[in-house]
A and B are shown apart, each in its own frame.
Chain A
Amino acid sequence: MKGAGTVGAIIRWARRRSPWVLHFNSGGCNGCDIEIVDTLTPRFDVERLGILKESSPRHADILLCTGPVTRQSRARLRRIYEQIPAPKWVVAVGGCSCSGGIFRGGYNVLGGIDQVLPVDIYIPGCPSRPEAIIEGILQLLETIE
């Protein structure tokens, strides 16, 4: 599905307007997680941007990760990523999923998401504000081929 011709343009258009996300917390404090859920609720309502939170990895396009990767969740994170059908993107939400953040150096913390998965966009903040999360996802969508 290369971006050739009208079909390509339509597909690209559809992908940008229908990002379904799957959320996985690999060790965060819930701060970012509740801000993600917050984007779904009336104040921010990302459904108006076509974003839906899905419950099965098979239905998702974007993996929204929060929290640093802990030893125990590493394998799960990988597996969930592998279950998402291509094309797929990974978003690291919050300081600790970008770099390990305040938890860097903990004996059970491996660091940011990029220790395990290729990350397409990093959204800093602790927690990231809902606006920042929305902006980050939109920024990612801009770059879709």
Chain B
Amino acid sequence: MRDVASAVLTILVFPGFGFLFVCALAFHWIDRRVTARFQGRVGPPWFQPFADFVKLLAKEDVLPVGAHERACALLPMVSLAAVLTAALHIPVGGYVVTSFEGDLIVVLFLLSLPALAYFLAGWLSASVFSVVGGSRALLQYFAYEVPFLMALAGPAILVGSWSVSRISGAQSGGLWTLLVQPIGFVLAFIGLIGKLKRSPFDIPKAKSEIGAGPLTEFSGRKLALWHLSLQVKTVVGIFLLVDVFLGGSGGGISLSGVTLFGVKCLLVLLALSVTGVLYARLRIDQLATMGWRVLAPLALVQLLVVVLVGG
């Protein structure tokens, strides 16, 4: 009985959904605030993401004629569910809900589901902007996904395990994967920006070009869920990067470990914000070229080095 209770607790509260929800809103706020500060502005107050979320929940939910209603209702939930499930396998400061050999693959798969849902949302919501946004999302997916996967495969091969927890734990000796595979980290970082559709890779939702991209026609609750799923995805992505490349919590389960983990996460978030602030958005064909001509070969080289030297 206690086991069940604690399992429920880990899933729902920490490090499960409740914690993720809070983290998602907090990270989103920090991101907006930091961006604003760099741009010479003040930025939103701390409760902003929460207010936005609640407001959207309480708004009318309409879809244009011709949109596929069931799918449009389902897709944001699929997207959210996928990232939430992915989060269960990623250790947070050492705590992990479930862990098994090969969970990295599952995580990677779950993290790419939202991209698919996003693309479908574009196609099914009966608006030209969302269709264009959707097809861009798909193109972008192909451009970043391969380098991202290869970059994450590096540490896995090095450690000889496809479990996030193990890879994270293997670095407790102090030697972060970052130091061994710096290129891999950079690639994973760039891939993450692409995955999160953040500036400068916010191509599928480029406001000035195609409205709000695939989400143009979504409103109210569905929009709130989309936003939430993207925010959670940001958190999960950052956790993953910290675990795989930055040594996670530094081993063991302790308060200092959790703090360390938190600090690392914030640093990655800061890096994401700064990158977003520094560059102009690329065009989809430029990103595709970059993905295939630069990132993918680099990832391949990194992987070869790992296999030949480390493996």
Contacts and interface: CB of A to CB of B under 8 A. Distances in A.
A45 B45 contact: no
B58 interface: yes
Nearest to B63: A58
Contacts of B40: 42
Contact of B44 (A11, A48, A61, A86): A48
Interface string B194-233: 0000000000000110011001111110010000000000
12 contacts: A1-B58, A14-B52, A15-B55, A15-B58, A17-B55, A18-B55, A47-B43, A48-B45, A56-B217, A58-B62, A58-B217, A85-B62
Count chain A CB atoms within 10 A of each CB in B43, B53, B219 and give the residue with the most. B219
Interface in A3-23: 10-11, 13-15, 17-18
A58 B62 CA distance: 8
A87 B56 CA distance: 10
Contacts, number: 86
Contacts of A58: 62, 216-219, 223
Given A42-B41, A55-B207, A14 B219 contact: no
- Tell me what chain A mostly uses at the interface: helix, strand, loop, or mixed: loop
Say which size band chain A's interface belongs to: 20 to 34
A125 B129 CA distance: 35
A50 interface: yes
A85 B60 contact: yes
Interface string A34-72: 000000011001011010001110110100000000000
